[in-house]
Amino acid sequence: MGCHLRRKEQGVTWTGVIESTRGAASLRSLLAGRYADPTLTELEHEALRWLDGFYQLEHLLAARAWVKRLLPEASEALRFAALVHDAERFFPGGPDSRPKDGFDNPDYLFAHSLRSADIVGAWLDGRVPPAFARRVRSLILRHEIGGDVEEDVLQASDSLAWLSAFDWLAIDWVRAGHYTIEGAREKLDWMMARMRPPHAIRLGLPMYADTIRALYAAHETTSDIPLRRKLAGDRALLLGETA
């Protein structure tokens, strides 16, 4: 099938769904420590423990890594916002993350962003200075639409993290019958089309092309998607804290 192999794009490691065809031990080895980073703050570690166990965790770690790649001087608030920008999806009761009326539907995007900002704001209350919490909230509120330089970087990092860590999820949507291949492709198209920073677009295009090829082979792949989903939420594994 037309899946892509393991690569490293400018300091951020990414792999395609082909890794999911490996055995459990091999896949765990590939993911072990992928997001280990000595610059993670104690607040960030605390947030990761808070969000541990859900398959979106790898996406959040990847988004933070892409923020650092796109904007090396990124503020602490921006790095933290990247790490928690989709927090609402970890808690039941939010908008469906598989909308049927377009991935760029503002009703969905705003509901998702507002709920995430509210949940993170409540968690931050009493932990950080108010000015830091306000900036994190502003960034999360704009992570789907962009705005200033940091907000555009966060939006682009969200897209790059989707392409680098969630290609298997698009295939899962197709195999589970949530979308046709063309329907799932709309998500990938949206992830590319919304990016503004030119260097983000350059980094995203190879991943986008390879993920599209993998998506069109969705019904032929033997990828172990349930295993991939489980490991994507394993904080200790992703940070290299397991033996």
Average of per-residue pLDDT across 94-103: 70
What pLDDT shows up at residue 143? 97
Residue 161 has pLDDT above 80, yes or no: yes
Three-state DSSP class for residue 208? helix
pLDDT band at 60 (very low <50, low <70, confident <90, very high): very high
b/e 114-151 (16+ beta carbons within 10 angstroms → b):
bbbbebbeebbeeebeeebbebbbbbbbbbbebeeebb
What digits encode the pLDDT tens for the residues 179-205?
999 999 999 999 999 999 999 999 999
What pLDDT shows up at residue 10? 42
What digits encode the pLDDT tens for the residues 217-227?
999 887 789 99
Contact 61, 234 (CB under 8 A): no
Domain 7-238 sits in CATH at 1.10.3210
In the block, residue with structure tokens 């921006």: 78
What digits encode the pLDDT tens for the residues 116-154?
999 999 999 999 999 999 999 999 999 999 999 999 999
Please state the φ and ψ torsions of residue 7, each to the nearest 5 degrees. -135, 170
pLDDT band at 236 (very low <50, low <70, confident <90, very high): very high
What pLDDT shows up at residue 107? 85
pLDDT band at 17 (very low <50, low <70, confident <90, very high): very low
Contact 78, 158 (CB under 8 A): no
Q: What is the mean pLDDT of the chain?
A: 89
The C-alpha atoms of residue 137 and residue 121 are separated, in whole angstroms, by 7
pLDDT band at 97 (very low <50, low <70, confident <90, very high): low
What pLDDT shows up at residue 3? 31
Nearest to 139 by CA among 125, 128, 153: 153
What pLDDT shows up at residue 128? 98
The C-alpha atoms of residue 76 and residue 91 are separated, in whole angstroms, by 25
